[in-house]
A and B are shown apart, each in its own frame.
Chain A
Amino acid sequence: MSIVLTRIDNRLIHGQVLESWVPYVHANCIVVANDSVAEAPLKKMMMEASVPSRMRVEIDRIERIIELFTSSSLDGMKVLLLFASTADALRAHQAGLHYRHLNLGNLHAGAGKTRLSCTIFLDPEDLSDLEELEDAGVDITARCIPADAERPWRKLIPKGRGA
């Protein structure tokens, strides 16, 4: 099994992922590590149904996804791994899911979040989550779709601010 893309995208499986990232990284398996979708049958079913049938799709709670990665179930797969938030990405990494690169895709606006790019809004907790991941050796870059330029995440942060 190889992880061809690890991405934080609060929309999880959607158009940009299916139509742009999947062909770009040649993924044949999409894994969604998300507790709330895992427990919402309609949402989960719609997401599974949107993935082309030639691809494998796994949507489950973060803990279950970590078990999946440590089993041999994904052998030979080219995996596109999705998290909805920095907190989930950090939780998974700390629990042993050791991805080496992290793509910041869509982290949209919310209370207390500062806009760093058109699709990336972070609050101080997000910043410290990302710092912690970086300290653990994860290479973090921002890129919404493959056609966008890839930027190191720290370049997004205005000087004199956090992180």
Chain B
Amino acid sequence: MIGIVVVTHARLAQELLNTAEMIIGPIPSARAVSIDRGLSLEVAKAELRQAIEEVSQSDSGVIILTDMFGGTPTNISVEFLSDQVEVLAGISLPLLLKCANSRAGLELAGLAAMLKEYARNAIIRPAELLSAKKS
């Protein structure tokens, strides 16, 4: 199974994982890594490296979900890009849930590409739904 590492500023990563597990139950092979203000880049990279190793199973690979393109969590994550490691920047709860629920049976690049499209469409403005119904 493809491993999941969530990397964010502050404690968003832990709380996103907690929240996702509250909704769908335990998520195996998943780790959260927080990049705090006071953390040096070397320590942050070492923590991320360890998390990737912990969720790596056989050769199915690891997907790293980060909070924001351009931010430090993403900047350090892209240094791990390889055949075995994908990075998606712009995590949301729908994205994390979809990732946890659909990774079985998919290969890594396919999962990353599917999740990118899924997350784009997971932003909904209810007012638009209402006006579409009226017209």
- A residues with a Cβ closer than 8 A to B are 10-11, 13-15, 18-19, 42-43, 46-47, 49-51, 106, 108-110, 118-119, 121, 144
Contact of A108 among B41, B68, B75, B78 (CB under 8 A): B41
Cα–Cα, bound, A48→B43 (Å)? 24
- B residues with a Cβ closer than 8 A to A are 9, 37-43, 68-72, 74-75, 78-79, 81
Residues from chain A with Cβ under 8 Å of B43 in the complex: 109
Give, as a whole number of angstroms, the nearest-CB distance from B72 to chain A: 4
Contact of A46 among B39, B41, B42, B78 (CB under 8 A): B78
Closest CB pairs A-B (n = 3):
A50-B70, A15-B71, A108-B40
Residues from chain A with Cβ under 8 Å of B71 in the complex: 14-15, 18, 50
Cα–Cα, bound, A106→B81 (Å)? 25
Residues from chain A with Cβ under 8 Å of B41 in the complex: 10-11, 108
Give, as a whole number of angstroms, the nearest-CB distance from B64 to chain A: 14
Residues from chain B with Cβ under 8 Å of A108 in the complex: 38-41
**Looking at A19, A49, A106, A118, which has the most chain B CB atoms within 10 Å of its CB?**
A106
* With A46-B75, A46-B78: A13-B70 Cβ-Cβ less than 8 Å: yes
Contact of A109 among B40, B78, B81 (CB under 8 A): B40
Give, as a whole number of angstroms, the nearest-CB distance from B69 to chain A: 6
Do the beta carbons of B75 and A14 come within 8 Å of each other? yes
Residues from chain A with Cβ under 8 Å of B81 in the complex: 42
* With A42-B78, A46-B78: A15-B72 Cβ-Cβ less than 8 Å: yes
Closest to A107 in B: B40
Cα–Cα, bound, A11→B42 (Å)? 11
Give, as a whole number of angstroms, the nearest-CB distance from A35 to chain B: 17
Cα–Cα, bound, A95→B71 (Å)? 31
Cα–Cα, bound, A109→B42 (Å)? 9
* With A14-B71, A15-B9, A15-B70: A118-B38 Cβ-Cβ less than 8 Å: yes
Cα–Cα, bound, A47→B69 (Å)? 9
Cα–Cα, bound, A18→B74 (Å)? 13
Cα–Cα, bound, A14→B68 (Å)? 10
Residues from chain B with Cβ under 8 Å of A144 in the complex: 37
Do the beta carbons of A11 and B70 come within 8 Å of each other? no
Cα–Cα, bound, A50→B81 (Å)? 17
Give, as a whole number of angstroms, the nearest-CB distance from A151 to chain B: 16
